[in-house]
Structure 1
Amino acid sequence: MPAGVAAASAPIPNINIMLRRFISATGARYKARPPKQRKVMENSRIALITGATSGLGQAVACALAEQGMHVLLHGRDRERTANAADQIQASGGSVQTYLADLSSLRETRDLAEQVSAEHPVIHLLINNAGIGPGRPPYRKRILSADGYELRFAVNYLAPVLLARKLVPALNTGAPARIVNVASAGQAPIDFADLRMDHHYTGTRAYYRSKFALVAFTFDFAAQLSDTAITVNCLHPASLMNTRMVRQAWIPPVSSVSTGVKAVMNLAVEPVGAAVTGATSMAVAKPRRIARRTTLPSNRGCVR
């Protein structure tokens, strides 16, 4: 058992079973804002990127559009999502918008279903949306509508649910890629306390969610090893000048453009098609904790 992981007094929950329950859950269908788009260019490749209304996500969305891809741009706020789409359209790019609150498993599921219905062929999924540590002293613990710690819900459960639901569309578009935006900052998960009822800090919650996302990346890549879908993750850059970093009152030390280059390397360059089940931490010194995400015991627990 990795250091820092409390011994569970109860059986470890199987997150794969939990996700199946989420996927089968009933609820009113999410209705997105009417698509803001140009006609999809014939033979254009299609990319869905989450959290694309500011910072790294918005910059990557613009870069994908410049590459000639039809961008499915996800956001949570209607006005900010429209503004991000306007910027791409003004530069001649092809874009379509989707609204969803990824802290809600129902809205995440409905987002995947709507995207699949409108685009049965997808070539790229970038799970970029995330919630950072928050403001000092990082003690404000918030639960999602489904009862999960908010960062775990947005940074881990939502990407897992989207990736699993979009496999058919990605398989149709193969060779296809899934890129998970992770972090070098990671901490082992106490599976007996997924809601973090004890010893909570926003920083620890953020680190645990990224640990889970990296472990899922390795495990999902193995599950899809007989397909032409690659699954990789990366630490794009350290403390980029984004709202997430500024909200934490941490001085930025790197630029968003540095992060864009790292993401695009896995998203569109040949290396992203040649490897799967890999993590790129080239910008930051790899930590010992990151290696623990490759352990079968940890990978199995986050299914």
Structure 2
Amino acid sequence: MPHATIPRIPPLELDEMDPERQKLAKLGADTVIQVLARAPEVLQASGALGGYLLSRGKLHPRIRELAILRVALRCDAPYEWANHAPAALGGGATDAEIGALSDPDASWPPEDDAVLRAVDELCADVFVSDGTWTALAATRDHAEIIEILFLVGYYRMMAGFLNSAGVPVKPGQPALGEPPAPVVAPAQQVRPASGETGPDGSWKITFTHPAGSKDLLLDLGTDGTKVSGSIFDTQLKVTVPIVSGTVDGQKVTFTALVTDPARFEVSVTGTVDGDAFSGSVTVSGGGTFPLTGVREVSPSS
């Protein structure tokens, strides 16, 4: 399919955008946000539906992202692929599954096959056949089927915008049809021993996503088996309170609810080893990714 080979709409620089749009851009897919920011009402309206589909929908992240990638393939949309291939990996898809999306002879479990067939038919005919509908209905309720229809429609719309506006893929992002580079946990930093052994205190955390890394500051406190505190995003400059959490020996699990600039949950599971923290972070609707960290300030300092 044809698409613009050079940008037709220049993206706004971050300092030209209002603070809320800047935060959205820093969440990810920054280039498309910076282009859409030239039509802020469209950005707000489209972002509301996109945000729901990505973070509050009923579909599991794995099949949702595989469906989006199939749309990207059918619409020849390299930017859409580049930004969702990492999310598919984080959502539980494998490199082999991502690669199989380009293979017309690939074999899929019936539940996945029905969704991917629906994508193909909607992209080709703007209609889901009776056979595919029956296959969808065998494992999904009406709400999920409606969500699939809207998901495909939304990302077909975005593909048309991205291809026509010429929104470019960034260097290092996966090419259309290729899986992303594997996620490697960041190296654990070494700090002088503080003598502390529990999770209480401040921690500098790096969490690694296929599209890049993010630095967080954790402020943790415990009361018996309960964990409280906050997460500070050093890029967004947003502090998010921990809404629930538990500690069992050196293992810590907690959840924070992000509401600005978008609404989603962040859950962390980690193990404390002296002044080292390691584990994973799960972003609702986005997948699970490794993290490591070091103690910044001990409770007694």
TM interval, short-chain normalised: under 0.3
Taking structure 2 as the reference length, the TM-score comes to 0.25
Q: Give the TM-score of the pair, scaled to structure 1.
A: 0.25
Between Structure 1 and Structure 2, which shows a larger proportion of strand residues? 2
